[in-house]
A and B are shown apart, each in its own frame.
Chain A
Amino acid sequence: MSFTRRKKMLAATAGAAVAALTLAACSSDGGDTDSTDEATGGTDTSAEEVSLTLATFNTPGFSNSENDAEYQYDLIEEYMELNPNVTITYDRKAESGDARENFFTKLGPGGLADVEMVEVDWMPEVMQYSDLLTDLSSDAVDGRWVDYVEAGATDADGRLIGYGTDTGPQGVCYRADLFEAAGLPSTPDEVATLLDGDWANFFAVGDDYVEGSGGSAFYDSASGVWQGMTNQLDQAYEDPDTGELIVLDNDAVKANYDQLMAASETQSSHFGQWSEDWFAGLSNGAYATMLCPPWMLGVIEGNATDTTDWNLANVYPNGGGNWGGSWLTVPASGSNIEAATALAEWLTAPEQQAKAFANAGTYPSQVAAYDDEAVSGAVNAFFNDAPIGEIFADRAQAVVPSPYKGEYYFQVNDAINNALTRVEDGTDDPEASWDKAVADIEGIG
């Protein structure tokens, strides 16, 4: 008799599974079933019921259901109130890497959301498939973003495939107490003056710091500085016209490498970015500076327990630099491209991004947002009341479009980053490590 009981149980679970399947199948093409009064007209397409899916990652500050912290604004609700015919389903992955995997799994067979967020780290790869994404350019958004953000989402044919959301213009975070102990000036203004100059100046200050501190490291890691240096080159790894690899013949890259490796011997903490030791270094003073995009402030604050002396200087070696940021794209395979574009346009408008910044601290890439009091007036208490709104607006204006990043950007960058790390680890000397990177790069393609 126990057999029949189990058989019934099996049948029941199997039934449940099938029911779940059909229900989900119904809801995917569904939308709201109860139709509103306006929809009866039929000719007015703008009032037609539309259900949209929006997919992001991390916390872009769009909705209060993103985080347990209380957000001031719920942009998704707001949009649905403004457009009663639109229903938005908001899907989110935790990390950029998860979102990337999801994006490239579904870009081919279909199944992406109507609006998909793409991060700067994998934007060059997405650009290879820009024809599968909707051209979003229009007069309404002309000149909305700082130049490098718009350039980053414009393909070779001049199609704009992404609306910028946040961005990562960098200043320099530093430990005022450690600067002082090493005999260096330590107020934000003084440090900005001190570091105003090229990379050689930055490393010269580093030498002074190392000497004054009795051998402590000046910056957190060679990899962190490397991205700062490379992103200022006109051409780095690939030829913008042909897409061919030029990195091995590019003297500027090798010169950066040599300069950085020479300095890192004494100035780097030799910790890998995001390693446990690197995190510990945020509070135990193992290094005194870090190149600092807005989102890094939260990382430092959260991990630097018992430290009160982090500060932010309105300066960046050799001009400006960007680290991080995202765009909203509209996959061409979607069924509501027009409505999706409208949503993406609205979400990335300066007013909304200023609210997103208030929600989640994601720094806007829209020029007009920098004049918004909510952005320009922002101060950060942990960083000793640094006027981050002002500082990052300045830093954003200083960023020059980064070098062309094509199909091979990540493999090359990875190979060089590995070379840097090998030297930092003491596995290889700089030349031997570079030779390994050369071998790796030669195998690409």
Chain B
Amino acid sequence: MSMFKRTSMVHISRPTWFTYTALAIVMLASLFPFYWSFLIGSGDATTVRDPNMSWIPGGNFIENAMTVIQNPAVNFWKALWNSIIVSTTVSISTVVLSTLAGFAFAKLRFKGNRGLFVAVIATMAVPVQLGIVPLYILMAEFGWTGSLGAVILPALVTAFGVFWMTQYLQQSLPTELIEAARVDGCNMIRTFWHVGVPAARPAAAMLFLFTFVTAWNNFLWPLIVLDQSNPTLPVALSMLQANYFVDYSLVLAGVLLATVPLLILFIFTGRQLVAGIMAGAVKG
């Protein structure tokens, strides 16, 4: 494989004006709601229902954001901290456990491999909306209601993650590499570490991102199992809608505030999604 020079790939995948135009259109559509949220979030209570709403942002964003942060009912900093703990724990755990399981399902031979894998996928087909009742009964039994653990533990690893890592590793990790590692005397966990993990990195970064965002925005279950003294961000921010008249400039300022940590995360994780990992794995 490595007989080709790396520079050749630049030639193959050089973007054209078409690429940039297409992406620019996609980007406009993607960023529109963000911009729109900012328009509302930087206006005042009447902006959202104003038929002549301006397409230029108002000047109240900082003020609105401060109102949200200082609102004692929102409990912003506590909620932010809780959300960081929950999302970080859940996504690290999901990535590690899914990669392990995905490695096993994709590349290791063991009895029941196929059957168990189908079982993993089948668990995704169970609709979750009814699960709140039995899950709460369970948590009440364990005495975990009100604590972050009740939100974290059920999400430690997901069928989605296992399925994703399996499919990705099946495609991107040549079986010969595993054989080679074995011949070198690596035991399983070392094989996993030296061969599986490097191959899995882009997919793991993506899984991390998705899991983090999902946990970050999760609302229904935290709303039931946590209370206002110990909330996550969406539960805390829902307080901004606790009125017969909802001031959407505050709601959207809150939404944007809650999104900032995710954008920071994007910048760091985005770099992990790079090509060329395989070349490294072959050499290593």
Contact = CB atoms under 8 A, between A and B. Distances in A.
A and B touch in their complex, CB below 8 angstroms: yes
B121 interface: no
Interface string B95-115: 010000000000000000000
B47 to A, nearest CB: 9
B23 interface: no
Contacts of B245: 298-299, 301-303
A8 interface: no
A28 B225 CA distance: 13
A105 to B, nearest CB: 5
B136 A3 contact: no
B73 A98 contact: no
Given A10-B92, A59-B242, A106-B136, A91 B145 contact: no
A17 B239 contact: no
A280 interface: yes
Contacts of A91: 227-229
A20 B148 contact: yes
Contacts of A280: 49, 51
A105 B138 CA distance: 12
Interface string A120-149: 000000000000000000000000000000
B46 interface: yes
A101 interface: yes
A105 B152 contact: no
Interface residues of B, number: 48
A13 B244 contact: no
A254 to B, nearest CB: 33
Interface string B218-256: 000001100111100000001111111111001000000
A74 to B, nearest CB: 11
A145 to B, nearest CB: 22
A92 B242 contact: yes
Interface string B34-62: 00000000000110011100000000000
Given A13-B88, A305-B46, A284 B243 contact: no
A20 B147 contact: yes
B85 A109 contact: no
A10 B89 CA distance: 8
B85 A299 contact: no
Contact of B244 (A65, A102, A283, A298): A298
Interface centre among A16, A65, A298 (most CB of B within 10 A): A65
Contact of B149 (A17, A53, A110, A111): A17
Interface of B: 45-46, 49-51, 67, 70-73, 85, 88-89, 92-93, 96, 132-133, 136-137, 140-141, 143-149, 152, 193, 223-224, 227-230, 238-247, 250
Given A28-B146, A92-B242, 20 more contacts: A14-B89, A21-B149, A25-B144, A58-B242, A66-B73, A68-B70, A68-B71, A89-B227, A93-B238, A95-B238, A95-B241, A95-B242, A98-B223, A98-B238, A102-B224, A284-B51, A295-B244, A298-B243, A299-B244, A302-B244
Interface of A: 3, 9-10, 13-14, 16-18, 20-21, 23-25, 28, 53, 55, 57-59, 64-68, 89-95, 98, 101-102, 105-106, 108-111, 279-280, 283-284, 295-296, 298-299, 301-303, 305
14 contacts: A17-B149, A24-B146, A55-B227, A67-B243, A91-B229, A92-B239, A93-B238, A94-B239, A98-B223, A101-B223, A105-B132, A106-B136, A109-B137, A302-B246
